[in-house]
């Protein structure tokens, strides 16, 4: 099977990111494509990393958390990375639960105020 190699434009299209985002991920060393002059070439490693980056962002992780997590794989291997992932996921789940609690509280207060205001109009 041929190795997947994407151009800059193909990478943007495949992952639905802007050129600015892709360049920024390179700048902060989340991605390190091969270069042929000014041409960037993204191989399977970069595609896998991009998938992980976007998944991490979806779950609310900071880019620095993602960068550190990816570095663990390079320095310590898969098992250390997975252990780190579990710890990060636990922390993020706690944070998301707190955000949900705050959002539920704000919605309850807003509904109450709306109902009081609507009742005063009758």
Q: Which of 54, 45, 49, 44 is nearest to 18 (CA)?
A: 54
Q: How far apart are the first and last CA of the chain?
A: 71
The DSSP code sequence of 8-72 is HHHHHHHHT--HHHHHHHHHTTS---EEETTEEEE-HHHHHHHHHHHHHHHTT--HHHHHHHHHH
Domain boundaries, the chain: 1-58
**Fold category of 1-58 in CATH:** Multidrug-efflux Transporter Regulator; Chain: A; Domain 2 (1.10.1660)
Per residue in 41-97, pLDDT (tens digit) is: 999 999 999 999 999 999 999 999 999 989 998 899 889 989 999 999 999 999 999
Q: Report pTM.
A: 0.80
Neighbours of 82 (CB within 10 A): 12
Residue 2 in this model has a pLDDT that exceeds 90: no
């Amino acid at each position: 099977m041929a190795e997947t190699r994407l151009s800059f434009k193909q990478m943007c299209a495949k992952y639905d990111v802007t050129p600015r985002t892709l360049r920024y991920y390179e700048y902060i060393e989340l991605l390190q494509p091969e270069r042929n002059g000014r041409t960037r070439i993204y191989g399977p490693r970069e595609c896998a990393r991009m998938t992980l980056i976007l998944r991490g962002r979806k779950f609310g992780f900071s880019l620095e958390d993602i960068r550190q997590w990816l570095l663990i794989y390079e320095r310590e291997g898969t098992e250390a990375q997975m252990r780190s992932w579990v710890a990060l996921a636990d922390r993020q789940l706690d944070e998301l639960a707190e955000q949900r609690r705050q959002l539920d509280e704000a919605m309850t207060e807003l509904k109450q105020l709306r109902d009081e205001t609507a009742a005063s109009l009758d």
